Amino acid sequence: MSGLYFEQFAVGQSFEHPIRRTVTEADNMLFSAMTMNPQPLHIDAEFAAASEFGQRLVNSLFTLGLMIGLTVGETTLGTTIANLGMTDVRFPKPVFHGDTLHAVTSVVTLRDSKSRPDAGLVEFEHRAVNQRGETVAQCHRTALMKRSGIGG
C-alpha cells in the first residue's frame, strides 16, 4: 500500500500496522557498531548479565528507527516531503533480543503549511508494542506531507 496524502488523514485516525519484526542480536550489534556506540549494555553479554536487566538491551535508537519504519507503508510511503521533528520520545520498557515488535499510529493534529501550498503538516503519535502487549517506545512525529490536489 502506498502512503496517504495530507487530505486523506483525519485527527483521531488510527493505524494498526500489520508488519511485525523480531529484533535479533545481529540487528543490535550491527546498529551499535554502525553508530559507534560502545555502550556495554548493548554489546557486552557479560557486562549486561550483571546489570539489573540480566541481558543485553537493544539500542534504543534502533528501536525508534524500527518503530518509525514499521509505520511507513500505511501512512507516508511516497507522500512525505520531509520529517520535521520528533518529540516526546520515550522508552517505557526495554527491548531484548528475540522481542517481536509492531507499531500503532494515531493522527494527533493536521494543519496547512504556511510556506508550501502543495503540502500540509501531520503530527503522528507512534507506539511500538512487544509480543507481551507492552509499549516499548513512543514518540510524536511531525511530517510535511504532499497534498493530492484533490479537495486541497
pLDDT for the residue 152: 43
pTM of the model as a whole: 0.93
Q: Which CATH number fits domain 6-146: 3.40.50.620, 3.40.50.720, 3.10.129.10, 3.90.550.10?
A: 3.10.129.10
For residue 121, is pLDDT > 80?
Answer: yes
Quickly state the pLDDT bin for 2 (edges 50, 70, 90): confident
Residue ranges of the domains in the chain? 6-146
Mean pLDDT within 11-34: 98
In the three-class reduction of DSSP (H, G, I as helix; E, B as strand; rest coil), residue 66 is classed as helix
Quickly state the pLDDT bin for 150 (edges 50, 70, 90): low
Q: 61-108: per-residue pLDDT in tens?
A: 999 999 999 999 999 999 999 999 999 999 999 999 999 999 999 999
Buried b (16+ CB within 10 A) or exposed e, 15-53: bebeeebebeeebbeebbeeeeeeeebbbeeeebeeeee
